[in-house]
Structure 1
Amino acid sequence: MPGRRLRPSLRLLGATAAIALIAVPSFAQTPMDDPLDARDAKRVDRMEKVVRELRDIVFKAQKTGAPVVVQPADTDARIAEQASRIADLEQTLTRLNGSLDAATHELDQTKRDNGALKAQLKALSDRLTADEQKAADAFAAAAQAGPPPPPEPPPQAADPKAAAADAFAKARQLMLSGDYDAAESAFSAYVTSYPDTPRTSEARYWWGKTLMVRGDSVKAAGAFIGAIRGWPQTAWAPDAVVELSRALTALKKPADACQTLGELERKYPKAPASVKTRAAVVRTQAKCG
């Protein structure tokens, strides 16, 4: 608390000092019937302290004549202590307010999340209900419609010979039209589907021709070997031998190519001139002796 300024006159100060000097000893030396308890003793000590401070003020004013500022140390200390406690309480309250704000924010976020989850659950429930209703409607419709009609009998199998002839004719037509990719697939399917028909060997021959056009010498050589197995006496057989020799030459097997060309002279001595001319070209490419 602020200090008090005293400007007493000399006469007033003298009277006050006299009263103080007389009162203090009288108060201190008065005998007491009962001993003081701890609380009363403290009160007496505080009163004596105040009297001493007043006496000092009076003496100082008499000597100097200057105003005196009184600063009660005990009151200032208590004020400072209370101010410190108030500051601590304010900090604690600030922390509590911050924690409360954070908890409130988390609670609001949780409420929003719960609301979104409830909306999703409701949407899923509605979809499930709709699906169940659709399934029930479909079941009811099926029950009203009665049992399904019996399956149609499978179509009767076509004549194998006629089917084979038709497949061969389609494959040959594809080759004549220049569609070698489709012709290769058609002849390959024919050989797989009809391995024992009278035209299977010829199909292998034409299959080998389409493979040579596509540059697949490995598969072509296998197709030609299957075509001339048994050395058939057909119009296409001598050309199949030449084509086999050409495939072997492309595969870097000139000895096998030359041996195959030697069989051409023995097995097909009456081969057409065009076939023999092509055989001579292959013989030169294979460097036959």
Structure 2
Amino acid sequence: MKPVLSLLSPIMFAALSVSLAAASPASAQDSSVGKRVEKLEDEMRAVQRKVFPGGSSRYFEPDIAPEPAAPAAPSTTSSAVSDLIARVDTLESSLATITGQVEQNNHRIKQLEDKLAAATIAPVSTNPGGVTGGSGAGNGTGTSTPSPAPDPERVNGVSSIIMPVSGDQGEDAYIYGYRLWEAKYYPEAQAQLKKAAEDHPKHRRASFAKNLLGRAYLDDGKPALAAIALYENYQENPSGERAPDSLYYLSTALIALNKKTEACQTLAELQDVYPDASAGRLSANIARNKKTANCK
């Protein structure tokens, strides 16, 4: 609404001019102030037409109107100043009304924008492996599209994998996720490994769970998700037992994403931060990825 404010800002100067006119007995000043107020009234009419197009003439008369009867000349300077003050009061009242209306409109627009934004962000839900059925999103005809029926063979296969009960809940949660991954039930393994890490963040197996989560994403053909999970495991728990492995598999995910420069940087950091693991159990894997990424 900047154009509106730029037209209304001279009103404050008009009020100051009226105060000066009241303090001076010269009639020339009255005439000058009167012309300035008339100019402001014309500008206010333009604002009224812009903010309230087609609105009523509640605050100002139309620009084109029948010729009014010639007003009697003011008898004294004080009466002219009083008339100017009254006209400026009208301008200020109109300004307050228009400003209030603009603020209300802006508030309503903000509420509509918030509702629209909330309506366009659909909640994300996952159903790893399609183990359970349910209704899908509406198809626009008032009916819902059902999800595909679960594969009975897959359901039976997942059900056959039992979570161990050793008394160590963090260990059991990770081992169950590992068994799902080993059986190639990758979506189910992803859900379980993520849950294991979230439920037992201080357990030593949390580092194993997040690292294996990244590998499960890689094996499931989702290198972008793998890169996120592996980087988070290294960043959040760099002293974890599988932090070096997460850097190695992160380089693998970056290669799959055709980001070979970043993969080489990751391998260099792995060798710099974890020299023992790099020279030991991960040495062959690092050499292979360096060759694949054309690292110098």
- Asked if these proteins are the same fold (TM beyond 0.5), I'd say no
Query: Over alpha carbons, which structure has the higher Rg?
Result: 1
Question: Which one has a larger percent helix, Structure 1 or Structure 2?
Answer: 1
